[in-house]
Amino acid sequence: MSKIRLLQIAFYSEWAINTFFASLRDPEIAQKFKLIGVSGLEKNLPRAVSSLSRAIAYREALVPSYVSEEKKERVRAQIKTANELLNGLKNGEIKYFSVSELAKIGGEVREYADMLVIHSSNPCHLDYMVWGSRNGLDVLVEKPTVTVLDKNGRASREKLDRLICLNNVNSHRIIMNAEHYAYKQSTMLFYKNLEQMLGGRKIRRVIGEVLEIDEPNHPRTQHTLSRENETGILTDTGVHLLDFISRLGGRAVPKNVKFDSYPGYDVETYAEVKYDIQPLDGHFAPGATAEIRVGKFIDRTIFPTNTESKFVKFEFDETDAEGNPLYVQVNLNNGGVVEKTKSGERVIHDAYPASKNEYVNILRAVDDARTRGKMTGIITPIKDSITTLTGLVNTYELMDKVRDRISVYRNPLAVAPVHISY
């Protein structure tokens, strides 16, 4: 069987270099997929090579500044991946397409590629998805599938409505969300054991947190969380937690939202949201609820901590002898899944064949869906993204209306956002 040919958008984006291109070295993935080309805003190949060379030089200059050997090794791995891509462009093994060239090629792109992989800035996702699907390509797009904020930081349904139309018109094509939290080892282990752990019980409450340490002056962070990128912390991180609810057959309806913004940021960088969950299938109990907390810069809050928190906890409609709910907790940091049963807590360990590189797991799911006709694994179809994004835009609309701002951060010297466009 011939390999699935990939055409990638935004070739020197940080996430693409960190994970996607590295995943193509995996022996199993290398047998099934081939990167045939990349695309960017650069007008021609020499400019693309120059841009990538600068990105490599920037990373090389960073290495000595890190104290942690682990971080140094991580950046060295990125440099290795970027150099492999650079060599492929130089020797012609990987073709370069400017954005203007892609627009002219149109349907002829099927002569080169089978699937479009999108790593552009968030506001551009939808336009590339429309272009790819109209020209006969399957599409794999980074989260968020589309943005639901406008350039003024207000809720906007415009792109979501277009996504719904795209899904209706192109339902025969594979349009997948590369939602990497769904393809973490712990998440895949959770879904593999889901029916056994549920045991006919219903979920009555979901508690989720993704609280991270980050550098507020880092250009990548400043661009990611900005009105220009139409992305706040709920769009960037909250989607991970809401996607669990959507994938389990629930619809999150916001009833309360509180937020704060780190000084110098023009979108929320911390949020607490309470939801009612409308059951769409059999996994949620009537009256189920959810509470999520997402935030950056947690080492710079009024009550700072150096310990990140990343988990999703599902409480059941069954209790132990003391009346405490039984639950399953997916730990998104260490890959573990903890189940509290009537006999006590236990960590579920399993030799589940999942890679630490989420893109390896994502591409395995793509292979199942595209070449075997099997929707196996933790497939993330656009219909689930639409449910998640509907809950998200409703959250932002409530936020616009209530404006319940809380004080989370200390008051350091304000940073001036640096906007980077791609």
Instruction: Give tens-digit pLDDT for 220-270.
Output: 899 999 999 999 999 999 999 999 999 999 999 999 999 999 999 999 999
Which token pair is 382? 């656009």
| SS3 (DSSP) at 108 | helix
pLDDT above 90 as % of the chain = 65
> What's the whole-number mean pLDDT along residues 374-400?
84
> So what's the pLDDT on residue 193?
87
Q: What is the pTM of this model?
A: 0.92
* Interatomic CA distance for residues 149 and 229, integer angstroms: 9
Is residue 194 within a helix (H) or strand (E), and if so which, with residue range? helix 194-198
Q: Within 10 A of 286 (CB to CB), how many other CB atoms are there? A: 10
Residues 6+ apart with CB under 8 A from 269: 225, 232, 233, 260, 261, 262, 295, 296, 297
> So what's the pLDDT on residue 172?
64
Instruction: Report the candidate in 207, 273, 276, 277 with the shortest Cα–Cα distance to residue 249.
Output: 277
Residue 373 banded pLDDT, cuts 50, 70, 90? low
pLDDT at residue 368 greater than cutoff 90: no
Instruction: Report the candidate in 381, 363, 385, 378 with the shortest Cα–Cα distance to residue 146.
Output: 385
* Interatomic CA distance for residues 82 and 92, integer angstroms: 15
> So what's the pLDDT on residue 152?
96
> What's the whole-number mean pLDDT along residues 142-166?
96
Q: Which domains does the chain have, with CATH numbers?
A: 4-178 (3.40.50.720), 181-402 (3.30.360.10)
| pLDDT 10s digits, 193-230 | 888 888 889 999 999 999 999 989 988 899 999 999 99
> So what's the pLDDT on residue 107?
87
pLDDT at residue 329 greater than cutoff 90: yes
SS3 for 309-335 is: EEEEEEEEEEECCCCCEEEEEEECCCC
- Contact at 8 Å (CB) between 240 and 311? no
- Contact at 8 Å (CB) between 151 and 126? no
Q: Is 249 left (phi over 0), alpha (psi -120 to 50) or beta?
A: left
> So what's the pLDDT on residue 421?
35
| pLDDT 10s digits, 89-146 | 999 999 999 999 998 998 899 999 999 999 999 999 999 999 999 999 999 999 999 9
Residue 1 banded pLDDT, cuts 50, 70, 90? low
* Interatomic CA distance for residues 321 and 333, integer angstroms: 30
| pLDDT 10s digits, 53-79 | 998 998 899 888 877 788 888 889 999
Q: How far is the CA of 386 from the CAs of 110, 162, 400, in angstroms? A: 27, 11, 21
